[in-house]
Every structure is written in C-alpha cells, then in structure tokens.
Copies of this chain bind each other. A is one copy, B any other.
C-alpha cells in the first residue's frame, strides 16, 4: 500500500487507471469506513482512500482543531482491508491558495445545513477537488451521513461526473449506535445514553409503518423524548428520500433523520422507511 501526500504523486500513481474505486474519509477510521473499502474493492481497482480533515467544511467553534487525527492506525486498518493507495494531503496541498471557487449545492440550509452554514458547500467543494485528483470510476459514501450522500449524488449527476456512487449501509454498535468518529468524544454516561438517538428513529419508523401520517406530531414527540433525556435537539425530521424535503401526499419512500447533541458532542442518524404504496 502506497501512502501519498502530494497531488502530483497521486496523479502519477493513477495514470492510466480506468477502474479506480475511491473512499474519501476524514480518517479516525472505524468499521463503517472499512465496510466502504470492502464495497469499493468489489467494484474496482485500484482502491484509493483519502484521509483529509477538511477545514472548509468546519464552522467557527466546531471541532476542526480537535478532530481526531490517527494516520498511523488508519493506515494499518486500510492496508489490512486491501487498500492500494492512501492519499493523505496536508491542508496546504489541498488549498495552496484561498479557495475562492466553491460548489454551491442545494439543500445547504436544510437539516444539518441549518445548524452548520457553509458545511455542505465545503463538503461538495473538497469532494469535487478530490474527484478531479483521483478521477475514480466508483466512489463510496456511507448512508449515516444521509444528507451528505444525497448532496454528493446530486453533484455527480448535475455536474455530469462520470462516477458511480456506492452507498454504504450504516454500521452500528451492538446497542444500535451508529459508528462515528465523534463517538470518541462521549463520556461513559453519554455513551450509555447515545443509542437512544437511533431507538427514537426506529420508534418513528414503527409508527409510520403502523399508519401514522401526522409527521409534525411524530417529529415533535421524538424531539421531546430526546430533550427529556438530556439531549439538545437540532432537528428530528421526516423527509422524502427523493427530495429530502417534506414528503408530498402519497410519497412512500421516506427517511427519518435526527441530529442532537449530548454534552458537547453532536450526533446524527437516520432510518429509511418504505410505506406500503
């Protein structure tokens, strides 16, 4: 496995590759990332993983400075999973000058975007840059970051990038908590409480499957339940899978999404719900 820090070296290593499968990450890898690597391996070769904590997608007061950076351990995991190339650039290599060109995606003020202005613009911009460096045929993203995946799929389609997006199912701990690098911020007590986020979403899914259609009531009740247990709720939302907007009457492919904070740690999760037609 090659570990590459420079764009020019990456391009040289990938010259002529037509079947590259790419997994962009911010490092601090867990089993969710490794599942994406395995999915990428099934799709194409070489398998390229990037590790870059992207300053452009962090807001003021967010955890950019403290985001866990664990390159050596990440490389061990990636090598064991059959990764061919790790691209781990410094910020000055990704942004040799102030990034004055950005991708302006839709939905950037919705859901997570409402609390994180500029976040999805920063994500879309760095992913476009990485795509142009790696020029993959396949790229894998996890469904845990549902809005991110939605926005990147749209970017590929609307900018006509010749890339197939692979969607990775969310990998969970035994108690249901979605794996996330930010879980490492949780105290023991918070970690014990954290599975309630997914449990609350499952409860919404069950209510929807049982015929409830009063979305606003379900959202409010779920938010109140989390608040009662010490969470600061950013949102609980039932949306259309097709648009990520409020479902239209008769829409059956829905998704319930939530973002909430336990102490200083912001967690997100989601569950897809297919209603009977």
Interface membership of chain A positions 115-128, coded 1 if the CB is closer than 8 angstroms to chain B and 0 otherwise = 00000010010001
A160 within 8 A of partner (CB): yes
Contact, CB under 8 Å: B101 / A154: yes
Contact, CB under 8 Å: B106 / A101: yes
The CA-CA distance from A133 to B160 in the complex, in Å, is: 6
Q: Which of A97, A99, A155, A160 has the most CB of B within 10 A?
A: A160
In-complex Cβ contact of A129 among B7, B97, B160 (8 A): B160
The CA-CA distance from A152 to B155 in the complex, in Å, is: 19
A1 within 8 A of partner (CB): no
The CA-CA distance from A128 to B162 in the complex, in Å, is: 13
Contact, CB under 8 Å: A162 / B102: no
Contact, CB under 8 Å: B158 / A101: yes
Q: Copy number in this complex?
A: 2
Contact, CB under 8 Å: A101 / B103: yes
Interface membership of chain A positions 159-189, coded 1 if the CB is closer than 8 angstroms to chain B and 0 otherwise = 1111000000000000000000000000000
A217 within 8 A of partner (CB): no
The CA-CA distance from A7 to B132 in the complex, in Å, is: 19
Contact, CB under 8 Å: A162 / B132: yes
Contact, CB under 8 Å: B103 / A104: yes
Interface size class of A (residues with CB under 8 A): 20 to 34
Contact, CB under 8 Å: B129 / A159: yes
- Report if A97-B7 is in contact (Cβ < 8 Å); known contacts: A102-B104, A103-B104, A104-B103: no
Q: How far is the CB of A111 from chain B (nearest CB, A)?
A: 16
The CA-CA distance from A276 to B98 in the complex, in Å, is: 30
Which residues A105-160 have CB closer than 8 A to chain B?
A: 105-106, 121, 124, 128-129, 132-133, 135, 154-155, 158-160
Q: How far is the CB of A161 from chain B (nearest CB, A)?
A: 5
Q: What are the residues of chain B within 8 A of A106 when measuring CB–CB?
A: 100-101
Residue of B nearest to A107 (CB): B100
The CA-CA distance from A37 to B158 in the complex, in Å, is: 28
What are 7 A-B interface contacts by the 8 Å CB criterion? A99-B158, A101-B104, A101-B155, A129-B158, A132-B159, A132-B161, A133-B160
Where the two chains meet, the residues of A that have a C-beta atom closer than 8 Å to any C-beta of B are 7, 11, 97, 99-106, 121, 124, 128-129, 132-133, 135, 154-155, 158-162
Given A101-B154, A132-B161, 18 more A-B residue pairs with CB atoms under 8 Å apart are: A7-B160, A11-B162, A97-B158, A100-B105, A100-B106, A100-B158, A101-B103, A101-B104, A101-B106, A101-B124, A101-B159, A102-B104, A103-B103, A104-B104, A128-B159, A129-B158, A129-B160, A135-B162
Closest 3 CB pairs of A and B: A100-B106, A101-B158, A132-B160
